[in-house]
Amino acid sequence: EAGVTQFPSHSVIEKGQTVTLRCDPISGHDNLYWYRRVMGKEIKFLLHFVKESKQDESGMPNNRFLAERTGGTYSTLKVQPAELEDSGVYFCASSQERVGLTGELFFGEGSRLTVL
Amino acid sequence: SQKIEQNSEALNIQEGKTATLTCNYTNYSPAYLQWYRQDPGRGPVFLLLIRENEKEKRKERLKVTFDTTLKQSLFHITASQPADSATYLCAREDSSASKIIFGSGTRLSIRP
């Protein structure tokens, strides 16, 4: 069974440009999460989808970030326009059950974003 | 707000010894704590979950404890091997039980 896949693995863009990150969760996993790790800091929660609905987007830094999950399958995270502080590794994770039950998350390998 | 603290940024030990990593949490006790392993350039991989009512859980050479009095979890790797070198992350569900929050991790290095 395929794991969580993320694309691209690395993106280098200039400040002010747009980048779209994609995540394909494990098939059948209704819960999809985006996290981010910036240099030297802990992995921080961005948002949570259940199917196509946003359950919690309290971690989204600002309105330059837009996440979608049309059809409840794959998800995209768009950063527009990108700023220097957006550089980091963006992780996607999925789970079959909600966090409150067992919470085991299956992570992708991450998309490294470098904003110059 | 809830916090997860892994006080040791790095830990270096000799192969064959037991590695012990510490995770402390603040505020109320979570229903469970989790431990993940992360290798450089890879995503975190789930290792173990221990529930509030469990004192200890084992999986092969791994052992995790949960002390609600000390608000602490200890993660042990016995008979450590160089292949165990990685960053280990402690995690808990937050108060809304809608997401997992992570500590900053402990980078473990096992020298031959």
Window A:39-98, CB contacts with B under 8 Å:
41-45, 48, 55-56, 59, 91, 93, 98
Q: DSSP letter string over chain B? A: ---EE---SEEEEETTSPEEEEEEE-SSPPSEEEEEEE-TTS--EEEEEEETT-SEEEETTEEEEEETTTTEEEEEESS--GGG-EEEEEEEE-TTSS-EEE---EEEEEE-
How does the average pLDDT of chain B come out, rounded? 92
Is the pLDDT reported for residue B60 higher than 60? yes
Task: Among B34, B45, B104, select the one facing A42 at the smallest CB separation.
Answer: B104
pLDDT in tens, A45-96: 999 999 999 999 999 999 999 999 988 899 999 999 999 999 999 999 999 8
What pLDDT is recorded for position A100?
Answer: 57
User: Looking at residues B87-100, what average pLDDT do you find?
Assistant: 86
Contact between A113 and A87 under an 8 Å Cβ cutoff? The reply is yes
Task: Among A45, A107, A110, select the one facing B101 at the smallest CB separation.
Answer: A45
pLDDT in tens, B26-55: 887 888 899 999 999 999 999 999 998 998
Task: Among B100, B103, B104, select the one facing A99 at the smallest CB separation.
Answer: B100
Contacts of A105 in chain B (CB under 8 A): 44, 46, 100
